[in-house]
Structure 1
Amino acid sequence: MRQNPSFAMTDVQELRRVIAANPWATLVGRDEKGMTASHYAVLLDPDRDDLTLVAHVGRPDERILGLGEQELMVIFQGPHGYVSPGWYGDAAAVPTWNYVAVHLSGVPELLDTEENLRVLGHLVDRFEAALEHPRGMWAPPNDEAFVRRLEAGTVGFRLTPTRVEAKRKLSQNKPDDVIETVILELRGEGVYANPALAAEMQRAHDARLAARAGAE
């Protein structure tokens, strides 16, 4: 991902926030036949406070991704959407696309059976927790034999990234009044309304204003 210093994201806590909020990730690896992209839910390692990830893939995806043998890239896509040049007022402008993206790369560590079971359980709990009546991986009618057969069809991994590339392109190169107009448009009811992107832009804009005030 081509980086622009104005758009770079480097704060670990901000990166963790984006990853936690957007767990449906793209995994990019390769085997002798070339590159492959697969799609899985990927979570932050609950035992770490850095950018270490835990996840699993279904067999035989571990082979076509080269899992554990070479670098794997995991891509998280945050809020994104179209920005019309008409929102910039009378200034000369072209359309653009605002977005947040995080790319983490490294050679994954493959997990043994018991560790993989813990990761699978954590994954289920993470998403079931939002339900009124959550059901854990081990809850009846699932029994141990069923869960272990399920686990045997997966390969769990932990990835501590050795390369981190993250970008938050949210009109930071525009004047304050333009940024605020874009946010209002995204919060509106038009065809390109995008509340999630508006919230992300507001967060970045507030941080920018706070940093500017602190420097004065």
Structure 2
Amino acid sequence: MRQNPSFAMTDPAELRRVVERHPWATIVSAADDGLVASHYVVLLDDTRDDLTVVGHVGRPDDLIHGLGDRELLISFQGPHGYISPGWYGDVASVPTWNFVSVHLTGVPEILSDAENLRVLERMVDVFENRMPNPRGMWTLPNDEAFVQRLAVGTVGFRLTPTKVGAKRKLSQNKPLETVDEILVALEGSGAYANAELAAEMRRAHEVRRERQS
């Protein structure tokens, strides 16, 4: 991802927040017959306080990606959306797309069967605990035989990135008054209203406003 100092994200806490809130990731590697991409849930490693992540792939994706032997790029896509030039007022302008993205690159380690099972359990709990009646991985009618068959079909991994690229393009290069107008449109009810992107922009916008005050 080409970096731009105006849009760079470098705060580890902010990077962790984006990864935690947007766990549906794209895993990319250079396979023997060309580039390959897969899509899986990837979580922050809850035993670490850095950008180490854990996840799993279904067999035979582990072989396709050369899991554990080759470098992977894991891409997390945060809020994103269309920005109309009509929101900039009466100035020459073109459409653009605002977004937040985090790329983690490294060679993952393969988890043991016990570690993989723990990660699978945690993945279920992370999402099921939001439900009114959570169904954990071990909740009936699931039994041990079912869970073990499920686990055997997956390969868990842990990746501590050796390279991190992150970008937050949220109209930081526009006047504060213009950003206010963009936020009005995104928080409205029009064709390109986008409350999630607006919230991310407002977060960055308020920090910028404080720095310039």
Q: Which category of TM-score, normalised to the shorter sequence, fits these structures?
A: over 0.9
Structure 2: gaps of 5 or more residues: none
- The answer to whether 1:22 aligns with 2:22 is yes
Q: How much has 1:30 moved relative to structure 2?
A: 2.5
The equivalent of 2:195 in structure 1 is: 195
Mapping for residues 1-216 of structure 1, pairs under 5 Å = 1-213=1-213
Query: What one-letter code is carried by the residue in structure 1 that aligns with 2:112?
Result: D
Structure 1: gaps of 5 or more residues: none
**In 1, Cα distance between equivalents of 2:68 and 2:30:** 11
Question: Does structure 1 conserve the Cα–Cα contact (< 8 Å) formed by 2:176 and 2:209?
Answer: no
Q: Aligned with 1:42: secondary structure?
A: strand
**In 2, Cα distance between equivalents of 1:56 and 1:166:** 23
Q: How much has 1:211 moved relative to structure 2?
A: 2.5
Misfit runs of 4+, over 6 Å: none
Residues 32-81 of structure 1 show CA distances to partners (whole Å, capped at 9, x for unaligned) of 11110000011001111111100000000011112110110000000100
RMSD in angstroms over aligned alpha carbons?
0.8
Query: What one-letter code is carried by the residue in structure 1 that aligns with 2:205?
Result: H
**In 2, Cα distance between equivalents of 1:49 and 1:41:** 19
**In 2, Cα distance between equivalents of 1:91 and 1:128:** 48
Matched length: 213
Query: What one-letter code is carried by the residue in structure 2 that aligns with 1:126?
Result: V
**In 1, Cα distance between equivalents of 2:134 and 2:13:** 28
Query: What one-letter code is carried by the residue in structure 2 that aligns with 1:201?
Result: M
Q: Aligned with 1:116: secondary structure?
A: helix
**In 1, Cα distance between equivalents of 2:66 and 2:208:** 41
Identity over aligned pairs, percent: 64
**In 2, Cα distance between equivalents of 1:160 and 1:138:** 29
Q: How much has 1:84 moved relative to structure 2?
A: 0.6
**In 1, Cα distance between equivalents of 2:95 and 2:212:** 28
Higher alpha-carbon deviation: 68-77 or 204-213? 204-213
TM-score by length of 1: 0.97
**In 2, Cα distance between equivalents of 1:37 and 1:82:** 25
Q: Aligned with 1:173: secondary structure?
A: coil
**In 2, Cα distance between equivalents of 1:62 and 1:30:** 13
Question: Does structure 2 conserve the Cα–Cα contact (< 8 Å) formed by 1:31 and 1:63?
Answer: no
**In 2, Cα distance between equivalents of 1:29 and 1:71:** 7
